[in-house]
Amino acid sequence: MRSYWIEYKGKKIFYQDFSKLFYNSTAVKAELDEVQKIVKAQPLNSVLVLTDMRDTHVGSDLLPAMNAASAATKDHVYKTAVLGVTGIKRKLADLLSQLTGQPLKYFDDAEAAKHWLVED
């Protein structure tokens, strides 16, 4: 598993690492399965998530799996920041967000994303 917990300004953030998987939908799906287990084991409405999609292609083959994973974990997630989602990937992510009801905020910079996650 590539994903892991990080600490930023005294708060835990679950860094979901889907970066640099390019067109490897099998690897993305395997990682999705693992991160779901971890997130669903956390208290409701508690997890700060930083999802890194840089250099990973998200096509129609991944949408059902991503939709299912998002729906399965959304009650446990407090906030989600996403890196590397631009262009057509952004339109797909917006569609996913609408389908699951899990709001996403997009960033180009990991530091800005972490700062947004911990601010309240």
What is the rounded distance in angstroms from the CA atom of residue 26 to the CA atom of residue 44?
Answer: 28
State the pLDDT at residue 89: 65
Q: 12 forms bridges with which residues in the sheet?
A: 7
State the pLDDT at residue 62: 86
What is the rounded distance in angstroms from the CA atom of residue 48 to the CA atom of residue 51?
Answer: 10
What is the rounded distance in angstroms from the CA atom of residue 44 to the CA atom of residue 94?
Answer: 23
Digit-by-digit pLDDT tens for the chain (120 residues) are 999 999 999 999 999 999 999 999 999 999 999 999 999 999 999 999 999 999 998 778 888 898 889 889 999 999 999 998 777 666 666 666 666 667 788 899 999 999 999 997
State the pLDDT at residue 61: 86
Map out the domains of the chain with their CATH numbers.
4-107 (3.30.750)
State the pLDDT at residue 46: 98
Task: Give CB contacts under 8 A, 24+ apart, made by 28-35.
Answer: 28/56, 28/58, 28/62, 28/65, 29/62, 29/65, 31/1, 31/2, 31/3, 32/65, 32/66, 32/69, 33/69, 34/1, 34/3, 35/1, 35/3, 35/69, 35/73
State the pLDDT at residue 83: 94
What is the rounded distance in angstroms from the CA atom of residue 108 to the CA atom of residue 1?
Answer: 24
3-state SS, residue 83: strand
